[in-house]
Amino acid sequence: MSERLTVAKTYKLYVGGAFPRSESGRSYPVQDAKGAFLANAAQASRKDVRDAVVAARKALGGWSRATAYNRGQVLYRVAELLEGRREQFVAELGASEGLAAKRAQSIVDLVVDRWVWYAGWADKIATVLGAANPVAGPYFSFSVPEPTGVVGVLAPQSSSLLGLVSVVAPVIATGNTAVVVASQDRPLPAITLSEVLATSDVPGGVVNVLTGRTAELAPWLASHADVNALDLTGAPEATTTELERAAAGTVKRVLRAGAAEPDWTVAPDVKRLRAFLETKTVWHPKGT
Amino acid sequence: MAAPSPANTGLPPALADATRDETSLRRFLHGLPGVDQVGVEQRAAGLATRSIKKAAKLWAIDTAIGMVDLTTLEGADTAGKVRSLCAKGRRPDPERPEVPRVAAICVYPDMVTTAVEALGDSGIHVASVATAFPSGRSSMPVKIADTELAVAAGADEVDMVIDRGAFLSGRYGRVFDEIVTIKHACGDAHLKVILETGELATYDNVRRASWLAMLAGADFIKTSTGKVSPAATLPVTHVMLQAVRDWHTATGTRVGVKPAGGIRTTKDAIRYLVAVHEVAGPEWLNPDLFRFGASSLLNDLLMQRRAQLDGHYSGPDYVTVD
Amino acid sequence: MWEYAPAPESRDIANLKPSYRMFLDGEFVEGGGEPLKTVNPATEEVLAEVSTASKSDVDKAVKAARRAYDRVWGRMPGAERAKYIFRIARMVAERSRELAVLESLDNGKPIKESRDVDVPTASAHFFYHAGWADKLDYAGLGPDPRPLGVAGQVIPWNFPLLMAAWKLAPALACGNTVVLKPAETTPLTALVLADIIQQADLPPGVVNILPGAGDVGAELVGHPDIDKVAFTGSTEVGKLIQCSVAGTGKKLTLELGGKAANVVFDDAPLDQAVEGIVNGIFFNQGHVCCAGSRLLVQESVADELLDKLHTRIATLRVGDPLDKNTDVGAINSREQLTKIAELVSSGEAEGAEKWVSPCPLPDKGFFFAPTVFAGVSQAMRIAREEIFGPVLSVLTFRTPDEAVAKANNTPYGLSAGIWTDKGSRILWMADRLRAGVVWANTFNRFDPTAPFGGYQESGFGREGGRQGLEAYLDV
């Protein structure tokens, strides 16, 4: 008896809660850490960027106005689903990043835990970053953090899952929606994560994942007038200055990349939560 | 509620409707725009920083003197005291005959006769408080009799108090009827309606009470009896000035405003005049439309007037104590 | 009629000098740039000659700031820094009258505003931030937050002293040293502040103040040895700056333009709304980035409100900034006056109904009568572009949703106003308005404890409050 032929997965984009192919019809081969063919991934175009931004904008109203408790629960649910797919992620990480099984397992553990950590922040960040301002007058003045809006995220190139989760979770935990450009050479875990999101309670459009050439897609995100902020973490080093310049065209908030990709296993702080929050200060007189 | 009185016939339909019955009146008064306390106090404080100098100040002083309702409302009032006040009102600064006379002498009803005699043909009005001043706590027949007594004695202005208890418990119709009735009892005498804003507590109430009084036929709305603290304040007067201005916009007629109690200095008086000028409008800078209910204010105005003209400060020994 | 006699504040109080020099490394020195003549916009007369910085002066100043940072200020205990800044706060208050008169002379704003708002708030900013200097661990930005280093700061001409205070106070409290460039048309109060800083005995180089035009600002922003850029000014220039610091790693905060909507519902406290609208657009001649330049009024009260507004605006006294009774002073420069006039004619050309206050205007100087456009639609330039002058555009709406949609229909997002007596509606609106500051039943309130700053193209970063410290710390 011959061995059963496995059913290979077609990796597509994740936009507005659906899994379309690139409108360009393009795909590109993805290799494992040793250079062997793994799968074809959709190669998104600028029009896919455009569609993803539309989807993210459309989802923003509902997601940003959901109660923080609700967002926390929805995100926690994602962690539950991630836990259920541990084996798949371990296998994919092993293939994508060439990690030994044990190492891959510990990374996936961190991924789930990190997601839980950020899920718990959804209904606390306003307490930590907000304030009642003791102004010198008969007014109640308070400041609350609010999501910046649609955030373009260039996901880390090396850490295809832990890095991805570490940059996406804080963006959506704070009520933003995201257009994510996945690691160019290691895009498969991002698509699998999309499948988790699609089957979770995260509304379609809150996270949109594009695979393809980062250097091709990033300028369209950086210059898009309906994108409010840009995370350059996974931007190719040679392009960051240009991207920042493009972002200046509509005064986007830009989270710059460090000199090297961060060590994602280090416990995070609230910096990434702060990065895509605005502060709104409200005043009202006190009187009878 | 009484049928529409002569006072409010000829009102625009919307306002005439407001007085049709208790429910309409309540709906109307509660439909008036609210007053934000911080906002109105800030505006009043801002306008109080106007710097009035030189000729503008002298004009303000003389205008203010001519707007004073020189008042004595004491249990210890005697004919002698009232006569002395009248003399002061006629010639506030005996050494300076060009100083204008005051607008009115304001007394209790039993002193009206004395005041009328003392003032003769000076043109100074005689104002009498009435309606169980200052609390207003008596029966309607007593209040009417009180008013009739004052008018019969020769008062040509009556300062009535509203029933604050009725107002605060929401019985606007009762307050309205009282004012209409007293207005009727006044005959030709001008009616000033004292809201006693210190007891109304909120600016929203002050605005409602102002409109209520105007709907009922008040010729003047007046802040206070002077017996309750706080008496007149700048922001309260602002709200009332806004009300008479809005009333004029709605009806084409002008109602006067009289702050009373606590206005003691020229500086205070000028701040009120600036408010009159810029909130109600220059037309109100006239004793027919603005009065100060005051006693000690007059001497400060006189001292400041001297300082202004003489180029040095005056002292209390150079103005008369009455 | 009652005419208020002129009540001018004495210009002698300003201690105006014929010439002013830049402040570099603790000394007042001649700059290498072409001296500028600063003009009193109310009279068009030259007030003083001011030396400006050359390219090498900018470099010297940055070097001085770096030295001061490395050797003294960056390593000084916070408690010591605090005492220096407290000193500045007190000295600004002590010299408040001088500063107020000088500000009105140089800027054209009414003395009552410089006296009652600008100078006291400037002092308050130093006082507030002084106390933070030794409490940064408690700012919620992580343990032992470190300063950034040298900050290059560029400020506008609309609140010359106050903006200097907004910039300097948090920078110094967090342990940074500063090179600040005041606006070309309003350098004087910043140089008196330099005098105060010298009197307060701050170590040389901690604060350097270099007057000059945009080229000096560009030189400063582009200097390779600064770690932080803070800019308040137009969105146009803000974008250029963001572009120029791209790739440098310099931390950037921008406080830019605005086109705020002031939304009045039919249940608003109307008289106070009128005050708020007037304050919102005519305060400081409308030279306010957060000015309530678009009035959105519910149709059912539009006529009544507009009538009241015209009556009220007609009482505004436009004229001599030094007169204590002046409500609206001079437009800061001829250039700005031309810009305002150009936008106003575009409003007329596009069919909006213009109403101009009947107030008399002085014969000379840069003055513009308060102007209200009714019948404005979102498509008109006067509804979209920042006029930065005493010009109000009035639009109407029917429902709360429409009000929100119109209010948010702008690339800016600095401030917004809401007028209604209904509390739940205020909070509903406040949630939905895309603006960094929302004033409900009030307008144009500022306080050092309350973070201020914009959404979208109105910039990023906050000034004031705990949130404002983030801009000057490496966190």
User: CATH number of the domain that C61 lies in?
Assistant: 3.40.605.10
Is the domain of C268 the same as that of C229?
Answer: no
Q: CA C184: distance to chain centroid?
A: 15
Kindly determine whether residue C452 and residue A281, on different chains, have CB atoms separated by under 8 Å: yes
Kindly determine whether residue C2 and residue B50, on different chains, have CB atoms separated by under 8 Å: no
- List the single residue in C7, C112, C421 with the smallest CB-CB distance to B34: C421
Is the domain of C175 the same as that of C123?
Answer: yes
Tell me which DSSP letter residue B290 carries: B
Q: Shortest Cα distance from A65 to chain B (angstroms)?
A: 30
- Asked whether residue C315 carries a pLDDT value surpassing 70, the answer given is yes
CB proximity A143 to C under 8 Å: yes
Single-letter code of the amino acid located at C441: N
Is the domain of C38 the same as that of C52?
Answer: yes
Spatial strand order of the sheet with A150-154 comes to: A207-210, A177-181, A150-154, A229-231, A253-255
Kindly determine whether residue B38 and residue C442, on different chains, have CB atoms separated by under 8 Å: yes
Which of B148, B255, B140, B180 shows the shortest CA–CA distance to B7?
A: B180
Q: What is the pLDDT of residues A157-213, one digit of tens each?
A: 999 999 999 999 999 999 999 999 999 999 999 999 999 999 999 999 999 999 999
* Six-digit token string for B23: 């429910």
Q: What is the pLDDT of residues C433-465, one digit of tens each?
A: 999 999 999 999 999 999 999 999 999 999 999
Single-letter code of the amino acid located at C189: T
Mean pLDDT, residues C166-181: 98
Kindly determine whether residue C5 and residue B55, on different chains, have CB atoms separated by under 8 Å: yes
Single-letter code of the amino acid located at C273: A
The reply to whether ipTM tops 0.90 is yes
Kindly determine whether residue C466 and residue A131, on different chains, have CB atoms separated by under 8 Å: yes
Q: What is the pLDDT of residues B68-107, one digit of tens each?
A: 999 999 999 999 999 999 999 999 999 999 999 999 999 9
Selected for mutation to probe chain B from C9, C112, C262, C272 (highest B CB count within 10 Å) is C272
Residue C6 lies in a domain: no
Contacts of C247 in chain A (CB under 8 A): 240-241, 244-245
Q: What percent of chain B has pLDDT over 70?
A: 97
Mean pLDDT, residues C344-371: 97
Is the domain of C320 the same as that of C401?
Answer: yes
- Asked whether residue B1 carries a pLDDT value surpassing 70, the answer given is no
pLDDT of residue B9: 62
List Cα–Cα distances, A50 to A21, A236, C410, in angstroms.
Answer: 14, 21, 21
Confidence of residue B10 (pLDDT cuts 50, 70, 90): confident
Q: What is the pLDDT of residues C192-241, one digit of tens each?
A: 999 999 999 999 999 999 999 999 999 999 999 999 999 999 999 999 99
- Contacts of residue B206, defined as CB under 8 A and 6 or more positions apart, other chains included, come to B35, B195, B197, B200, B236, B239, B240
**Share of chain A residues as helix, strand and coil, in percent rounded to the nearest 5:** 45, 20, 35
Residue in chain C closest to A239 (alpha carbons) equals C247
Residue C450 lies in a domain: no
Q: Shortest Cα distance from C358 to chain A (angstroms)?
A: 32
As its CATH architecture, domain A27-285 has: 3-Layer(aba) Sandwich (3.40)
Q: Which residue has the tokens 């967090």?
A: C174
Kindly determine whether residue A287 and residue B38, on different chains, have CB atoms separated by under 8 Å: yes
Q: What is the pTM of this model?
A: 0.96
Identify the active-site residue in C255, C457, C463, C470.
Answer: C255
Backbone angles phi, psi at C440, to 5 degrees: -110, 125
Confidence of residue A118 (pLDDT cuts 50, 70, 90): very high
Contacts of C421 in chain B (CB under 8 A): 34
Kindly determine whether residue A285 and residue B37, on different chains, have CB atoms separated by under 8 Å: yes
C273: CATH: 3.40.309.10
List Cα–Cα distances, C186 to B33, C13, C258, C337, in angstroms.
Answer: 42, 18, 21, 16
Computed over every residue of chain A, the mean pLDDT equals: 97
Half-sphere exposure of C329 (CA within 13 A, CB side): 29
Single-letter code of the amino acid located at B259: P
C255 given a catalytic annotation: yes
List Cα–Cα distances, A194 to B35, B140, B228, B241, C122, in angstroms.
Answer: 54, 81, 73, 66, 51
Kindly determine whether residue C272 and residue B50, on different chains, have CB atoms separated by under 8 Å: no
Is the domain of C112 the same as that of C203?
Answer: yes
Give the number of other CB atoms < 10 A from CB of residue B254: 18
CB proximity B59 to C under 8 Å: yes
pLDDT of residue B6: 46
Alpha-carbon distance of A15 to A26, in angstroms, equals 16
Full domain range(s) for residue C463: 11-256+455-472
Confidence of residue B2 (pLDDT cuts 50, 70, 90): low
pLDDT of residue A1: 55
Single-letter code of the amino acid located at B274: V
Tell me which DSSP letter residue B16 carries: H
Residue that wins the pLDDT comparison between B7 and A43: A43
CB proximity B95 to A under 8 Å: no
- List the single residue in A137, A143, A253 with the smallest CB-CB distance to C451: A143
For helices C78-94 and C160-173, angle between their N-to-C axes, nearest 10 degrees: 160
Q: What is the pLDDT of residues B179-207, one digit of tens each?
A: 999 999 999 999 999 999 999 999 999 99
Is the domain of C220 the same as that of C268?
Answer: no
CB proximity A138 to B under 8 Å: yes
Per-position DSSP letters for A83-98, written without gaps between them:
HHTHHHHHHHHHHHH-
Confidence of residue B4 (pLDDT cuts 50, 70, 90): very low
Residue C306 lies in a domain: yes
Asked if C225 and C62 touch (Cβ cutoff 8 Å), the reply is yes
Q: Where are the alpha helices (DSSP H) in chain A?
A: 46-65, 68-84, 86-97, 101-121, 125-129, 162-173, 188-199, 214-223, 240-248, 271-275
Q: What percent of chain C has pLDDT over 70?
A: 100
Residue C220 lies in a domain: yes
Confidence of residue B8 (pLDDT cuts 50, 70, 90): low
Residue C2 lies in a domain: no
Is the domain of C239 the same as that of C306?
Answer: no
Asked if C283 and C113 touch (Cβ cutoff 8 Å), the reply is yes
- Asked whether residue B5 carries a pLDDT value surpassing 90, the answer given is no
CB proximity B39 to C under 8 Å: yes
Residue in chain C closest to B278 (alpha carbons) equals C315
Mean pLDDT, residues C145-174: 98
Is the domain of C56 the same as that of C112?
Answer: yes
pLDDT of residue A6: 87
Asked if A276 and A176 touch (Cβ cutoff 8 Å), the reply is yes
Is the domain of C109 the same as that of C234?
Answer: yes
Q: Shortest Cα distance from A216 to chain C (angstroms)?
A: 19
> What element of type H or E holds C397?
strand C391-397
Chain B neighbors (3+ CB pairs < 8 Å): A, C
pLDDT of residue C474: 96
Residue C448 lies in a domain: no
Is the domain of C19 the same as that of C164?
Answer: yes
Q: Shortest Cα distance from A75 to chain C (angstroms)?
A: 23
| Secondary structure tally for chain A: helices H, strands E | 10, 10
Asked if C134 and C77 touch (Cβ cutoff 8 Å), the reply is yes
Is the domain of C285 the same as that of C397?
Answer: yes
Asked if A240 and A114 touch (Cβ cutoff 8 Å), the reply is no
For chain B, the residue count is 322
* Six-digit token string for A60: 């923003």
Confidence of residue C394 (pLDDT cuts 50, 70, 90): very high
pLDDT of residue B322: 76
Asked if C305 and C320 touch (Cβ cutoff 8 Å), the reply is no
Provide the number of structural domains found in chain C.
Answer: 2
CB proximity C117 to A under 8 Å: no
Q: What is the pLDDT of residues C68-104, one digit of tens each?
A: 999 999 999 999 999 999 999 999 999 999 999 999 9
CB proximity A139 to B under 8 Å: yes
The set of catalytic residues of B is: 159, 222, 258
Asked if C403 and C296 touch (Cβ cutoff 8 Å), the reply is yes
Computed over every residue of chain C, the mean pLDDT equals: 97
List Cα–Cα distances, C312 to B241, C189, C271, in angstroms.
Answer: 13, 32, 10
Q: What is the pLDDT of residues A256-287, one digit of tens each?
A: 998 899 999 999 999 999 999 999 999 999 99
Q: What is the pLDDT of residues C258-297, one digit of tens each?
A: 999 999 999 999 999 999 999 999 999 999 999 999 999 9
List Cα–Cα distances, C468 to A253, C139, C148, C232, C472, in angstroms.
Answer: 16, 10, 14, 14, 8
Q: Which residue has the tokens 């959404």?
A: C455
CB proximity B169 to A under 8 Å: no
Chain A neighbors (3+ CB pairs < 8 Å): B, C
- Asked whether residue C60 carries a pLDDT value surpassing 70, the answer given is yes
Is the domain of C213 the same as that of C176?
Answer: yes
Domains and their CATH numbers in chain B: 35-311 (3.20.20.70)
Q: Which of residues 275-304 of B touch C (CB under 8 A)?
A: 277-278, 281-282, 285
Q: Which of residues 241-270 of A touch C (CB under 8 A)?
A: 241-245, 247-251, 253, 256, 269
CB proximity B249 to C under 8 Å: yes
Alpha-carbon distance of C385 to C373, in angstroms, equals 14
Kindly determine whether residue C268 and residue B33, on different chains, have CB atoms separated by under 8 Å: yes
- Asked whether residue C41 carries a pLDDT value surpassing 80, the answer given is yes
Mean pLDDT, residues A115-138: 98
CB pairs under 8 A between A and B: 17
List Cα–Cα distances, C113 to B235, C259, C277, C438, in angstroms.
Answer: 21, 22, 17, 22
